[in-house]
């Protein structure tokens, strides 16, 4: 009996496989679907290659960009330092100019006073 069941299951399995195979071969849509799947896989492989190359390019570009930004920051800091130095020099020159004007005014006042002393007989 066991042999009969095993033989029967084997025949059923073979018959089932043959039916599926026959069904798949007779349906042209399956071949078309498989063709489209192969084409899709091929396109995905191409896209993966492009994405990988873009990623490599972006990594290199971003590293270059970061290096350029660092240089620009350093230049910007140097320019900023230069501007601050020039502004402080300018403030110093403004103070010096104001002091010289005040000194000139004081000297003019002293000259006027001295002239008054010399031209008049008043004691100075």
The model's pLDDT over 84-114, given as tens digits with 9 standing for 90+, comes to 888 888 888 898 899 899 999 999 888 888 8
- Verify that 124 and 71 share a domain, yes or no: yes
The number of domains in the chain is: 2
- Verify that 81 and 32 share a domain, yes or no: no
* HSE-CB for 7 with a 13 A CA cutoff: 4
Q: Is residue 58 part of a domain?
A: no
Q: Is residue 50 part of a domain?
A: no
> In this predicted structure, what is the pLDDT of residue 98?
92
Q: Is residue 73 part of a domain?
A: yes
> In this predicted structure, what is the pLDDT of residue 86?
86
Residue numbers of the domain that contains 10: 1-37
**Distances in Å between the alpha carbon of 117 and those of 95, 103, 104, 113?**
33, 21, 20, 6
**Distances in Å between the alpha carbon of 101 and those of 1, 74, 82, 94?**
129, 40, 28, 11
Q: Is residue 49 part of a domain?
A: no
> In this predicted structure, what is the pLDDT of residue 3?
62
- Verify that 76 and 124 share a domain, yes or no: yes
Alpha helices in 1-124, H assignment, sequence order: 2-26, 28-119
Q: Is residue 26 part of a domain?
A: yes
Which parts of the chain have pLDDT scores under 70?
1-6, 8-9, 12, 14, 16, 18-27, 30, 59-76, 122-124
Q: Is residue 51 part of a domain?
A: no
- Verify that 122 and 72 share a domain, yes or no: yes
- Verify that 26 and 71 share a domain, yes or no: no
> In this predicted structure, what is the pLDDT of residue 23?
63
- Verify that 27 and 75 share a domain, yes or no: no
């Amino acid at each position: 009996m066991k042999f009969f069941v095993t033989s029967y299951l084997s025949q059923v399995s073979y018959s089932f496989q043959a039916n599926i195979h026959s069904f798949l071969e007779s349906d042209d849509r399956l071949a078309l679907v498989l063709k489209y799947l192969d084409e899709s896989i091929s396109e995905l492989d191409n896209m993966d290659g492009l994405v990988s190359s873009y990623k490599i390019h972006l990594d290199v570009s971003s590293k270059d960009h970061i290096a350029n930004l660092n240089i620009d920051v350093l230049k910007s800091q140097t320019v900023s330092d230069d501007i601050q130095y020039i502004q402080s020099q300018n403030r110093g020159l403004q103070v010096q100019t104001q002091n010289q004007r005040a000194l000139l005014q004081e000297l003019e006042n002293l000259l006027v006073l001295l002239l008054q002393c010399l031209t008049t007989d008043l004691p100075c």
